[in-house]
Structure 1
């Protein structure tokens, strides 16, 4: 009897030990499973908070484009029943109207008592086309001819000659490069003189890009000429025929312009006349410029002024022509403070014409005409509208621990 009781006691002890081990293992396993489930739940919450923050970034880009860059952010915007996001727009130092930082924070379920929070920072910039104008003027094999006290304030590159025409007192204040010869004297080159240089490629302009952007704004058919003689904004717009701005008025350019030839190959010319007539770039472009492209010739011989923005550096209007005429660009009696591009045609400046930069197959300067180079043109950018089209700058997406 005693032996039987002893064996029963041993069995109970062993069972208790076994049960204790099972309970310990079960508790440990439960703790690990609970931790795993909690970790998984937290991961899901963090992912949801990240999605909310990214939604805030997408919304900010849309708002910047809708408001021409004036959007400043928003707070506690709900997205369904999942959570909210808060967005702030930070300006760069020094201020740059074409570059901003978007800070977006997603909260699950709200900012007051969040179970999860994630903050994303990205830089947003205006979508623009870059073009480097490193010289006051650059010509292809047609070269440069300077006559009658003409002056270039800046450096010059010619894939042909730099020749002295009639008269004297021609001046280049910077350096001069020519694949051919440089007539010094009589041309007074204040910098270095570099004849026999290697040919230099000209800056490129994507004609089709700017034509497409102008065409997006609508088409106006001119019969045969559209005349603008009153103060009005223009662009983005395609004009089929000839386009003239006149009447001593100020016309504000809000986007790309394409002056196109008609189906019979007629028209496509752009002109300005009368001394107080201005084509002014909308200040919203900041340091960006925009483009007027003409299938025909550009004529500013009867007055007219191109006016850049007041930003630093300035945003310029670039007048582009695809004409092959020797007088594809003609400027005189005007302060045309713009950029002129006639890669397959000629440029002619006379009678106190003032130009910021000119690219042409050949250039003729007479009668005290002047090229005044702006150093900011070395890294010029051109956009499709005031404030341009905002997009995320590549390589700037990052997470941050604080809003």
Structure 2
């Protein structure tokens, strides 16, 4: 009897041993399989978060670079968030360059990118319209396609539009009676429409489609992009090419670099006038009828300055007038810069138009009157306007081109930004 029980006991022990052995083998197999699977899952997750960090850091870089290239507001440290992930972008100013470092973290995984921007060669025109303390006044259906910056007020009549940011800097900044399709920055905003965000101290009678930021700091005023000293250099460059007494041009010809001793240099009719260098007129300049004004291919990508400076009568002379259908053509992505040194608006608060653009004048043209008033009328189309004071009326339109951020001349200081290097540093 006992022997049978012993046999059953031994059989039970054998079964238990087999089951335990099977469990051990199974656990070993499961652990052997699960560990690499876990490693792969964790590696995939880390790769995902690492890529998220990389792209977030890259987004921080691109945001800051875009703001710098287009002269938008940017702080020394910018933060960008996406869910629980963040990127901090730091801008370091160095001699002639900016170093931009973005550090992004996603689930404790860090990626760091660094870009270096060098100051390009040329002058920077970062706004469709940049104006001094005289301010900007718009009338009727006039339009500015680009950003507007002024150290004076921005005011309007009827229904003009700024298709970009509008910035009226300083403690007396005012934006009034105008439609701004992007962001508006001013101490006071009154009776306007803002399609983006509004930054202000005082606001009334204004509809804001975006976010309002009451109590915002006033934007800092800034100087115009080209100093008088540089204009004097261009005048000297022109005079070095020879002095001319030709005061009326009605047939096709090539001029420049030259100084013209005329009370008025008149270009009229339908000639093609090719500019091979800067031109300085010691008086007024008038372009009339259907004249075609072009830049010589010999200048490559360099732009041309056409300067009116009546040195004996700065308040009454040095006036530039464009009438009818004058066309300006820079064939190599270059431009004509029309410069008037008339100072009646700044010196006397006068109403003399330093540059008067009428009718359908258009083309690769920028107008610049650092001490005077520019008046744009009718269907004129201009690429950029810079002056002490600006008035835009009727259906006149300023159409800003991004290439103006780095405008080249044969002589002049640096401006704009170019990419020097990009790399991942962590």
2:266 corresponding residue in structure 1: 244
Residue 281 of structure 1 is aligned with which of 295, 299, 316? 295
CA distance in structure 2 between the aligned counterparts of 1:287 and 1:218, rounded to whole angstroms: 23
1:323 aligns with 2:323: no
1:382 match: secondary structure = coil
Alignment deviations for residues 11-66 of structure 1 (CA, whole Å, 9 cap, x no partner): xxxxxxxxxxxxxxxxxxxxxxxxxxxxxxxxxxxxxxxxxxxxxxxxxxxxxxxx
Aligned positions of 1:57-136 closer than 5 A: 130-136=122-128
- Give me the TM-score of the superposition, normalised by structure 2: 0.54
1:78 corresponding residue in structure 2: none
1:350 aligns with 2:339: no
In 2 relative to 1, CA 250–323 (structure 1 residues): closer, same or farther, beyond 3 Å?
same
Contact 1:243 1:270 in 2 (8 A): yes
CA distance in structure 2 between the aligned counterparts of 1:207 and 1:140, rounded to whole angstroms: 18
Residue 256 of structure 1 is aligned with which of 278, 293, 314? 278
1:176 corresponding residue in structure 2: 166
Q: Between Structure 1 and Structure 2, how many residues are aligned? A: 239
Aligned positions of 1:17-36 closer than 5 A: none
1:334 corresponding residue in structure 2: 360
1:131 match: secondary structure = coil
1:163 corresponding residue in structure 2: 155
Deviation at 1:272, TM superposition (A): 0.4
1:146 corresponding residue in structure 2: 138
CA distance in structure 1 between the aligned counterparts of 2:329 and 2:272, rounded to whole angstroms: 10
1:146 match: secondary structure = strand
Contact 2:339 2:367 in 1 (8 A): yes
1:284 match: secondary structure = helix
Deviation at 1:306, TM superposition (A): 1.7
Deviation at 1:349, TM superposition (A): 0.3
1:228 aligns with 2:249: yes
CA distance in structure 1 between the aligned counterparts of 2:377 and 2:234, rounded to whole angstroms: 29
CA distance in structure 2 between the aligned counterparts of 1:308 and 1:278, rounded to whole angstroms: 11
Deviation at 1:286, TM superposition (A): 3.3
CA distance in structure 1 between the aligned counterparts of 2:272 and 2:232, rounded to whole angstroms: 28
1:383 match: secondary structure = coil
Where does structure 1 lack aligned partners over 5 or more consecutive residues? 1-127, 261-267, 385-403
In 2 relative to 1, CA 129–321 (structure 1 residues): closer, same or farther, beyond 3 Å?
farther
1:370 aligns with 2:384: no
CA distance in structure 2 between the aligned counterparts of 1:219 and 1:252, rounded to whole angstroms: 17
Alignment deviations for residues 243-262 of structure 1 (CA, whole Å, 9 cap, x no partner): 111111111111010001xx
1:298 corresponding residue in structure 2: 320
2:235 corresponding residue in structure 1: 211
CA distance in structure 2 between the aligned counterparts of 1:270 and 1:129, rounded to whole angstroms: 29
Contact 1:272 1:303 in 2 (8 A): no
Deviation at 1:303, TM superposition (A): 3.6
- Give me the TM-score of the superposition, normalised by structure 1: 0.57
1:381 match: secondary structure = coil
2:353 match: secondary structure = coil
1:147 match: secondary structure = strand
Aligned residues: CA RMSD: 1.6
